[in-house]
Structure 1
Protein backbone atom coordinates (compact mmCIF):
# COMPACT_ATOMS: atom_id res chain seq x y z
CA UNK A 1 0.00 0.00 0.00
CA UNK A 2 2.84 2.41 0.83
CA UNK A 3 4.42 1.80 -2.58
CA UNK A 4 1.12 2.50 -4.31
CA UNK A 5 0.65 5.78 -2.45
CA UNK A 6 4.23 6.83 -3.25
CA UNK A 7 3.99 6.01 -6.96
CA UNK A 8 4.56 9.12 -9.10
CA UNK A 9 1.69 10.23 -11.35
CA UNK A 10 2.20 9.59 -15.06
CA UNK A 11 3.29 12.02 -17.72
CA UNK A 12 0.70 12.43 -20.48
CA UNK A 13 1.91 13.51 -23.91
CA UNK A 14 -0.02 14.37 -27.07
CA UNK A 15 1.68 14.58 -30.45
CA UNK A 16 -0.10 16.89 -32.86
CA UNK A 17 0.08 19.29 -35.77
CA UNK A 18 -1.22 22.83 -35.62
CA UNK A 19 -4.64 22.57 -37.31
CA UNK A 20 -4.03 24.66 -40.42
CA UNK A 21 -5.90 24.25 -43.74
CA UNK A 22 -3.96 22.11 -46.17
CA UNK A 23 -1.64 20.80 -43.45
CA UNK A 24 -3.90 18.43 -41.51
CA UNK A 25 -6.49 15.76 -42.28
CA UNK A 26 -5.85 15.98 -46.02
CA UNK A 27 -7.47 12.57 -46.56
CA UNK A 28 -10.81 14.12 -45.60
CA UNK A 29 -10.72 16.11 -48.84
CA UNK A 30 -12.38 16.48 -51.29
CA UNK A 31 -15.43 15.53 -49.18
CA UNK A 32 -14.36 18.37 -46.89
CA UNK A 33 -12.73 21.61 -47.87
CA UNK A 34 -9.23 22.19 -46.44
CA UNK A 35 -10.80 24.65 -43.99
CA UNK A 36 -13.38 22.10 -42.86
CA UNK A 37 -10.69 19.44 -42.47
CA UNK A 38 -8.66 21.83 -40.32
CA UNK A 39 -11.74 22.61 -38.20
CA UNK A 40 -12.26 18.88 -37.65
CA UNK A 41 -8.61 18.43 -36.69
CA UNK A 42 -8.87 21.31 -34.23
CA UNK A 43 -12.04 19.82 -32.72
CA UNK A 44 -10.40 16.41 -32.32
CA UNK A 45 -7.34 17.98 -30.73
CA UNK A 46 -9.46 20.07 -28.40
CA UNK A 47 -11.45 17.00 -27.31
CA UNK A 48 -8.27 15.00 -26.72
CA UNK A 49 -6.62 17.69 -24.60
CA UNK A 50 -9.78 18.34 -22.56
CA UNK A 51 -10.21 14.61 -21.94
CA UNK A 52 -6.62 14.20 -20.79
CA UNK A 53 -7.14 17.09 -18.40
CA UNK A 54 -9.46 14.75 -16.47
CA UNK A 55 -6.92 11.90 -16.21
CA UNK A 56 -4.59 12.11 -13.17
CA UNK A 57 -1.12 13.19 -14.28
CA UNK A 58 2.01 14.81 -12.95
CA UNK A 59 2.75 16.61 -16.20
CA UNK A 60 0.90 17.19 -19.47
CA UNK A 61 2.95 17.89 -22.58
CA UNK A 62 1.85 18.83 -26.10
CA UNK A 63 4.51 17.86 -28.65
CA UNK A 64 3.53 20.20 -31.43
CA UNK A 65 4.42 20.87 -35.06
CA UNK A 66 3.49 24.51 -35.40
CA UNK A 67 2.20 27.06 -32.94
CA UNK A 68 -0.29 26.66 -30.08
CA UNK A 69 -3.69 28.30 -30.38
CA UNK A 70 -6.72 29.11 -28.21
CA UNK A 71 -7.61 25.40 -28.23
CA UNK A 72 -4.73 24.67 -25.80
CA UNK A 73 -5.93 24.37 -22.17
CA UNK A 74 -4.06 26.03 -19.35
CA UNK A 75 -1.41 23.95 -17.59
CA UNK A 76 -0.01 22.20 -20.65
CA UNK A 77 3.68 22.42 -21.51
CA UNK A 78 4.40 22.78 -25.23
CA UNK A 79 7.54 21.47 -26.91
CA UNK A 80 8.38 21.31 -30.62
CA UNK A 81 8.52 18.06 -32.51
CA UNK A 82 11.97 16.78 -33.40
CA UNK A 83 13.23 14.28 -35.93
CA UNK A 84 12.61 13.68 -39.63
CA UNK A 85 10.17 10.80 -40.15
CA UNK A 86 7.18 10.04 -37.97
CA UNK A 87 9.04 7.17 -36.28
CA UNK A 88 11.75 9.59 -35.12
CA UNK A 89 9.23 12.23 -34.07
CA UNK A 90 7.33 9.73 -31.94
CA UNK A 91 10.54 8.52 -30.31
CA UNK A 92 11.63 12.09 -29.64
CA UNK A 93 8.21 12.88 -28.15
CA UNK A 94 8.51 10.08 -25.61
CA UNK A 95 12.05 11.27 -24.95
CA UNK A 96 10.60 14.45 -23.42
CA UNK A 97 9.12 12.45 -20.54
CA UNK A 98 11.02 12.51 -17.24
CA UNK A 99 12.46 9.09 -16.38
CA UNK A 100 11.08 8.88 -12.83
CA UNK A 101 7.42 8.42 -13.87
CA UNK A 102 5.54 6.38 -16.47
CA UNK A 103 4.67 8.17 -19.70
CA UNK A 104 1.87 7.71 -22.19
CA UNK A 105 1.90 9.25 -25.67
CA UNK A 106 -1.45 9.77 -27.43
CA UNK A 107 -2.25 11.02 -30.92
CA UNK A 108 -4.75 13.75 -31.82
CA UNK A 109 -6.98 11.54 -33.98
CA UNK A 110 -9.19 9.72 -31.45
CA UNK A 111 -11.72 12.20 -30.01
CA UNK A 112 -13.86 9.27 -28.86
CA UNK A 113 -11.25 8.49 -26.19
CA UNK A 114 -12.76 8.19 -22.70
CA UNK A 115 -11.02 8.87 -19.39
CA UNK A 116 -11.78 5.39 -18.05
CA UNK A 117 -9.73 3.84 -20.84
CA UNK A 118 -6.60 5.40 -19.34
CA UNK A 119 -7.21 6.20 -15.68
CA UNK A 120 -7.53 2.57 -14.65
CA UNK A 121 -4.59 1.12 -16.61
CA UNK A 122 -2.33 4.02 -15.48
CA UNK A 123 -3.35 3.84 -11.83
CA UNK A 124 -0.63 2.88 -9.31
CA UNK A 125 -2.63 -0.16 -8.22
CA UNK A 126 -2.54 -1.63 -11.74
CA UNK A 127 0.69 -0.47 -13.28
CA UNK A 128 3.00 -2.35 -10.90
CA UNK A 129 2.75 -5.36 -13.21
CA UNK A 130 3.10 -3.38 -16.43
CA UNK A 131 6.14 -2.15 -18.37
CA UNK A 132 4.35 -0.66 -21.38
CA UNK A 133 0.94 0.32 -22.72
CA UNK A 134 -0.19 -0.16 -26.31
CA UNK A 135 -3.37 1.17 -27.91
CA UNK A 136 -4.06 -0.53 -31.26
CA UNK A 137 -5.92 1.25 -34.04
CA UNK A 138 -8.39 -0.42 -36.38
CA UNK A 139 -6.30 0.47 -39.43
CA UNK A 140 -3.32 -1.52 -38.17
CA UNK A 141 -1.53 1.39 -36.52
CA UNK A 142 -1.70 2.54 -32.92
CA UNK A 143 -3.22 5.50 -31.10
CA UNK A 144 -1.28 5.28 -27.81
CA UNK A 145 2.10 4.06 -26.62
CA UNK A 146 3.39 4.20 -23.07
CA UNK A 147 6.48 3.18 -21.13
CA UNK A 148 6.69 2.60 -17.38
CA UNK A 149 10.35 3.66 -17.36
CA UNK A 150 10.69 6.04 -20.31
CA UNK A 151 14.05 6.96 -21.79
CA UNK A 152 15.16 8.30 -25.17
CA UNK A 153 17.15 5.11 -25.73
CA UNK A 154 14.22 2.78 -25.07
CA UNK A 155 11.82 4.92 -27.10
CA UNK A 156 14.23 4.83 -30.02
CA UNK A 157 14.64 1.08 -29.72
CA UNK A 158 10.88 0.59 -29.94
CA UNK A 159 10.05 3.13 -32.64
CA UNK A 160 12.95 4.08 -34.89
CA UNK A 161 12.87 2.31 -38.22
CA UNK A 162 9.25 1.18 -37.92
CA UNK A 163 7.39 1.83 -41.20
CA UNK A 164 4.57 4.20 -40.36
CA UNK A 165 1.01 4.41 -41.70
CA UNK A 166 0.89 0.80 -42.86
CA UNK A 167 -1.34 -2.11 -41.90
CA UNK A 168 1.66 -3.65 -40.08
CA UNK A 169 2.79 -0.63 -38.07
CA UNK A 170 1.05 -1.61 -34.84
CA UNK A 171 2.06 -5.25 -35.11
CA UNK A 172 5.73 -4.31 -35.51
CA UNK A 173 5.66 -1.90 -32.55
CA UNK A 174 3.95 -4.49 -30.36
CA UNK A 175 6.50 -7.10 -31.45
CA UNK A 176 9.35 -4.76 -30.52
CA UNK A 177 7.83 -4.15 -27.09
CA UNK A 178 7.59 -7.87 -26.46
CA UNK A 179 11.07 -8.57 -27.87
CA UNK A 180 12.44 -6.00 -25.41
CA UNK A 181 11.01 -8.15 -22.61
CA UNK A 182 8.36 -5.60 -21.62
CA UNK A 183 5.07 -6.66 -20.08
CA UNK A 184 2.46 -4.94 -22.25
CA UNK A 185 -1.01 -3.79 -21.21
CA UNK A 186 -3.24 -3.56 -24.27
CA UNK A 187 -5.62 -0.63 -24.31
CA UNK A 188 -8.92 -0.73 -26.22
CA UNK A 189 -8.79 -0.68 -29.99
CA UNK A 190 -9.91 2.67 -31.41
CA UNK A 191 -10.46 4.16 -34.85
CA UNK A 192 -8.17 6.98 -35.96
CA UNK A 193 -9.96 9.66 -37.95
CA UNK A 194 -8.37 9.63 -41.39
CA UNK A 195 -11.23 9.33 -43.89
CA UNK A 196 -14.82 10.60 -44.09
CA UNK A 197 -16.05 7.11 -43.16
CA UNK A 198 -13.83 7.19 -40.06
CA UNK A 199 -15.12 10.63 -39.12
CA UNK A 200 -18.74 9.56 -39.48
CA UNK A 201 -18.19 6.45 -37.33
CA UNK A 202 -16.28 8.30 -34.60
CA UNK A 203 -18.86 11.11 -34.47
CA UNK A 204 -21.55 8.48 -33.89
CA UNK A 205 -19.53 6.92 -31.05
CA UNK A 206 -18.93 10.26 -29.30
CA UNK A 207 -21.95 12.45 -30.11
CA UNK A 208 -21.31 15.02 -27.38
CA UNK A 209 -17.79 15.97 -28.48
CA UNK A 210 -16.61 19.07 -30.30
CA UNK A 211 -15.59 16.72 -33.07
CA UNK A 212 -19.08 15.29 -33.55
CA UNK A 213 -20.69 18.73 -33.64
CA UNK A 214 -18.13 19.94 -36.16
CA UNK A 215 -18.59 16.85 -38.31
CA UNK A 216 -22.39 17.17 -38.36
CA UNK A 217 -22.03 20.83 -39.32
CA UNK A 218 -19.70 19.80 -42.14
CA UNK A 219 -22.14 17.18 -43.40
CA UNK A 220 -25.01 19.67 -43.38
CA UNK A 221 -22.93 22.17 -45.33
CA UNK A 222 -21.90 19.52 -47.86
CA UNK A 223 -25.51 18.47 -48.43
CA UNK A 224 -26.84 22.03 -48.76
CA UNK A 225 -28.19 22.82 -52.25
CA UNK A 226 -25.86 24.88 -54.40
CA UNK A 227 -26.73 27.32 -57.13
CA UNK A 228 -26.00 26.07 -60.66
CA UNK A 229 -22.63 27.11 -61.97
CA UNK A 230 -22.62 30.41 -63.84
CA UNK A 231 -25.89 31.67 -62.33
CA UNK A 232 -26.03 34.28 -59.62
CA UNK A 233 -28.12 33.73 -56.50
CA UNK A 234 -30.44 36.30 -55.02
CA UNK A 235 -30.46 37.32 -51.39
Structure 2
Protein backbone atom coordinates (compact mmCIF):
# COMPACT_ATOMS: atom_id res chain seq x y z
CA UNK A 1 0.00 0.00 0.00
CA UNK A 2 1.32 3.43 -0.97
CA UNK A 3 1.44 5.87 1.95
CA UNK A 4 -0.45 9.13 1.39
CA UNK A 5 1.61 12.19 0.54
CA UNK A 6 2.04 14.82 3.25
CA UNK A 7 -0.55 17.58 3.12
CA UNK A 8 0.65 20.83 1.56
CA UNK A 9 0.46 22.64 4.89
CA UNK A 10 2.38 23.17 8.10
CA UNK A 11 1.59 22.97 11.78
CA UNK A 12 3.12 25.47 14.21
CA UNK A 13 3.24 24.96 17.98
CA UNK A 14 3.64 28.14 20.03
CA UNK A 15 5.11 27.36 23.44
CA UNK A 16 7.36 28.51 26.26
CA UNK A 17 10.27 26.71 27.88
CA UNK A 18 8.76 24.81 30.85
CA UNK A 19 10.67 26.66 33.55
CA UNK A 20 9.24 27.00 37.09
CA UNK A 21 7.68 30.39 37.59
CA UNK A 22 7.47 31.07 33.84
CA UNK A 23 4.74 28.67 32.74
CA UNK A 24 1.28 27.70 34.01
CA UNK A 25 1.36 30.36 36.71
CA UNK A 26 -2.42 30.13 37.12
CA UNK A 27 -1.88 26.62 38.47
CA UNK A 28 0.09 28.06 41.40
CA UNK A 29 -1.48 27.54 43.83
CA UNK A 30 -2.57 24.82 44.39
CA UNK A 31 0.53 23.40 42.67
CA UNK A 32 4.07 24.57 43.29
CA UNK A 33 5.85 26.34 40.43
CA UNK A 34 7.96 23.22 39.92
CA UNK A 35 4.89 21.00 39.67
CA UNK A 36 3.25 23.42 37.25
CA UNK A 37 6.38 23.31 35.08
CA UNK A 38 6.28 19.50 35.07
CA UNK A 39 2.68 19.60 33.89
CA UNK A 40 3.57 22.14 31.20
CA UNK A 41 6.44 19.97 29.97
CA UNK A 42 4.20 16.90 29.80
CA UNK A 43 1.51 18.86 27.95
CA UNK A 44 4.05 20.11 25.43
CA UNK A 45 5.36 16.59 24.79
CA UNK A 46 1.80 15.33 24.24
CA UNK A 47 1.17 18.19 21.83
CA UNK A 48 4.33 17.53 19.85
CA UNK A 49 3.44 13.84 19.66
CA UNK A 50 0.04 14.69 18.20
CA UNK A 51 1.62 17.02 15.65
CA UNK A 52 4.20 14.36 14.72
CA UNK A 53 1.35 11.97 13.89
CA UNK A 54 0.01 14.28 11.16
CA UNK A 55 1.39 13.99 7.64
CA UNK A 56 2.15 17.60 6.76
CA UNK A 57 4.92 19.22 4.77
CA UNK A 58 6.46 20.98 7.78
CA UNK A 59 6.27 21.00 11.57
CA UNK A 60 7.44 24.08 13.46
CA UNK A 61 8.00 24.89 17.13
CA UNK A 62 7.87 28.64 17.76
CA UNK A 63 9.63 28.58 21.10
CA UNK A 64 10.44 31.00 23.88
CA UNK A 65 13.67 29.53 25.25
CA UNK A 66 16.15 26.83 24.22
CA UNK A 67 14.59 23.47 23.24
CA UNK A 68 15.42 20.48 25.44
CA UNK A 69 16.10 16.80 24.88
CA UNK A 70 12.33 16.26 24.59
CA UNK A 71 12.25 17.84 21.13
CA UNK A 72 11.21 15.31 18.51
CA UNK A 73 12.92 14.83 15.16
CA UNK A 74 11.21 16.50 12.25
CA UNK A 75 10.53 19.86 13.92
CA UNK A 76 12.00 23.17 12.83
CA UNK A 77 12.54 25.52 15.78
CA UNK A 78 12.09 29.26 15.36
CA UNK A 79 12.30 31.87 18.13
CA UNK A 80 9.23 33.70 19.32
CA UNK A 81 9.21 37.46 18.94
CA UNK A 82 6.87 40.21 19.99
CA UNK A 83 5.47 41.44 23.27
CA UNK A 84 1.83 40.58 23.85
CA UNK A 85 0.28 37.31 22.81
CA UNK A 86 -1.37 38.87 19.76
CA UNK A 87 2.07 40.01 18.58
CA UNK A 88 3.68 36.64 19.23
CA UNK A 89 0.91 34.80 17.40
CA UNK A 90 1.12 37.15 14.44
CA UNK A 91 4.93 36.86 14.33
CA UNK A 92 4.81 33.06 14.46
CA UNK A 93 2.44 32.99 11.49
CA UNK A 94 4.57 35.52 9.61
CA UNK A 95 7.92 33.85 10.30
CA UNK A 96 6.72 30.33 9.49
CA UNK A 97 4.99 31.47 6.30
CA UNK A 98 8.02 33.45 5.14
CA UNK A 99 10.20 30.34 5.43
CA UNK A 100 7.58 28.07 3.85
CA UNK A 101 4.63 29.76 2.09
CA UNK A 102 2.02 27.11 2.84
CA UNK A 103 -1.21 27.23 4.89
CA UNK A 104 -0.59 27.13 8.64
CA UNK A 105 -2.43 25.52 11.53
CA UNK A 106 -1.18 26.98 14.83
CA UNK A 107 -1.80 25.61 18.31
CA UNK A 108 -0.36 26.16 21.77
CA UNK A 109 0.84 23.63 24.32
CA UNK A 110 -2.20 23.99 26.57
CA UNK A 111 -4.37 21.19 25.15
CA UNK A 112 -2.51 17.90 25.71
CA UNK A 113 -5.71 16.00 24.90
CA UNK A 114 -5.44 17.07 21.25
CA UNK A 115 -5.09 14.20 18.78
CA UNK A 116 -3.47 13.78 15.43
CA UNK A 117 -6.89 13.16 13.91
CA UNK A 118 -8.19 16.52 15.16
CA UNK A 119 -5.18 18.30 13.73
CA UNK A 120 -5.50 16.44 10.44
CA UNK A 121 -9.12 17.62 10.24
CA UNK A 122 -7.98 21.22 10.78
CA UNK A 123 -5.38 20.90 8.04
CA UNK A 124 -7.95 19.39 5.69
CA UNK A 125 -10.37 22.26 6.39
CA UNK A 126 -7.89 24.72 4.88
CA UNK A 127 -8.30 23.05 1.51
CA UNK A 128 -11.76 24.58 1.19
CA UNK A 129 -11.81 27.42 3.76
CA UNK A 130 -9.69 30.49 4.34
CA UNK A 131 -9.36 29.85 8.06
CA UNK A 132 -10.03 27.27 10.74
CA UNK A 133 -10.82 28.13 14.34
CA UNK A 134 -10.88 25.97 17.48
CA UNK A 135 -12.83 27.46 20.41
CA UNK A 136 -11.70 26.85 24.00
CA UNK A 137 -14.10 26.34 26.88
CA UNK A 138 -12.74 29.39 28.75
CA UNK A 139 -13.76 31.73 25.94
CA UNK A 140 -10.41 31.75 24.18
CA UNK A 141 -9.24 29.57 21.32
CA UNK A 142 -6.93 26.56 21.16
CA UNK A 143 -6.31 26.48 17.40
CA UNK A 144 -6.14 28.96 14.57
CA UNK A 145 -5.38 28.11 10.97
CA UNK A 146 -4.88 30.50 8.07
CA UNK A 147 -4.26 29.93 4.39
CA UNK A 148 -2.67 33.38 4.04
CA UNK A 149 -1.44 34.92 7.28
CA UNK A 150 -2.01 38.64 7.72
CA UNK A 151 -1.01 40.63 10.84
CA UNK A 152 -4.29 42.55 10.63
CA UNK A 153 -6.14 39.34 11.46
CA UNK A 154 -4.51 39.13 14.91
CA UNK A 155 -2.91 42.37 16.05
CA UNK A 156 -5.06 44.24 18.54
CA UNK A 157 -7.31 41.32 19.43
CA UNK A 158 -7.55 41.44 23.26
CA UNK A 159 -6.01 38.26 24.62
CA UNK A 160 -6.52 36.16 27.77
CA UNK A 161 -10.09 37.32 28.29
CA UNK A 162 -13.39 35.41 28.29
CA UNK A 163 -14.22 37.32 25.09
CA UNK A 164 -10.94 36.64 23.28
CA UNK A 165 -12.31 33.82 21.15
CA UNK A 166 -15.41 35.66 20.01
CA UNK A 167 -13.33 38.74 19.21
CA UNK A 168 -10.88 36.69 17.16
CA UNK A 169 -13.63 34.88 15.27
CA UNK A 170 -15.38 38.19 14.59
CA UNK A 171 -12.12 39.63 13.22
CA UNK A 172 -11.78 36.69 10.81
CA UNK A 173 -15.34 36.93 9.55
CA UNK A 174 -15.33 40.72 9.24
CA UNK A 175 -12.24 40.33 7.05
CA UNK A 176 -14.37 38.29 4.66
CA UNK A 177 -12.76 34.93 5.39
CA UNK A 178 -14.63 31.65 5.26
CA UNK A 179 -14.06 29.88 8.58
CA UNK A 180 -14.31 26.20 9.56
CA UNK A 181 -15.07 25.59 13.24
CA UNK A 182 -13.34 22.83 15.18
CA UNK A 183 -14.67 21.07 18.31
CA UNK A 184 -14.30 22.93 21.61
CA UNK A 185 -11.40 21.85 23.84
CA UNK A 186 -10.34 22.80 27.36
CA UNK A 187 -7.09 24.70 27.91
CA UNK A 188 -5.20 23.68 31.03
CA UNK A 189 -5.13 26.85 33.12
CA UNK A 190 -6.51 25.80 36.51
CA UNK A 191 -6.80 22.71 38.68
CA UNK A 192 -10.28 21.88 37.41
CA UNK A 193 -9.00 22.06 33.83
CA UNK A 194 -6.07 19.77 34.62
CA UNK A 195 -8.33 17.13 36.20
CA UNK A 196 -10.79 17.28 33.32
CA UNK A 197 -8.14 17.04 30.61
CA UNK A 198 -6.36 14.15 32.34
CA UNK A 199 -9.67 12.28 32.45
CA UNK A 200 -10.22 12.93 28.73
CA UNK A 201 -6.73 11.67 27.86
CA UNK A 202 -5.92 9.07 30.53
CA UNK A 203 -2.98 7.61 28.61
CA UNK A 204 -1.29 10.94 28.01
CA UNK A 205 1.98 12.10 29.51
CA UNK A 206 -0.01 14.90 31.08
CA UNK A 207 -2.32 12.49 32.91
CA UNK A 208 0.70 10.52 34.15
CA UNK A 209 2.41 13.68 35.36
CA UNK A 210 -0.72 14.81 37.21
CA UNK A 211 -1.08 11.39 38.83
CA UNK A 212 2.59 11.45 39.82
CA UNK A 213 2.20 14.78 41.57
CA UNK A 214 -0.77 13.53 43.54
CA UNK A 215 -3.20 15.65 45.54
CA UNK A 216 -2.12 19.32 45.61
CA UNK A 217 -1.25 20.59 49.06
CA UNK A 218 -3.86 23.31 48.66
CA UNK A 219 -7.30 22.74 47.18
CA UNK A 220 -8.25 26.40 47.08
CA UNK A 221 -8.68 26.31 43.26
CA UNK A 222 -11.08 23.38 43.32
**Cα offset for 1:7?**
9.2
Corresponding residue for 1:48? 47
Return the TM-score normalized by structure 1: 0.86
Compared with structure 1, are the counterparts of its residues 192 and 19 closer, same or farther at alpha carbon in structure 2 (3 Å cutoff)? same
Alignment of 1:83-232 (within 5 A): 83-98=82-97, 100-123=101-124, 126-150=125-149, 154=150, 156-220=151-215, 222=217
- The structure with the largest strand share of the pair is 2
| TM-score, length-scaled by structure 2 | 0.91
Q: Deviations over 1:115-145 (max 9, x none)?
A: 111213423xx54321001011000000111
Aligned partner of residue 96 in structure 1, secondary structure: helix
Measure the CA separation in 2 of the matches of 1:74 and 1:24: 24
Moved runs in structure 1, 4+ residues, more than 6 A?
none
Give the number of equivalent residue pairs. 213
- Residue 8 of structure 1 contacts residue 101 of structure 1 at CA under 8 Å; is this kept in 2? no
Deviations 1:9-55 (A, max 9, x none): 21110000000011111111121111110000000000000110001
Check whether the contact 1:10–1:56 (CA below 8 A) recurs between aligned residues. no
Aligned pair in 2 of structure 1 residues 121, 221: CA closer, same or farther (>3 Å)? closer
1:232 is aligned to none
Unaligned runs of 5+ residues in structure 1 are: 224-235
**CA–CA distance in structure 2, aligned partners of residues 197 and 210 of structure 1:** 18
Task: Provide the rounded CA distance (Å) in 2 between the counterparts of 1:193 and 1:175.
Answer: 24
Displacement of 1:57 in angstroms is 1.1
RMSD: 1.8
Give 1:226's aligned residue: none
Cα deviation 1:49-102 (Å, max 9, x = unaligned): 011000111111111111100111012111111111111001001112236321
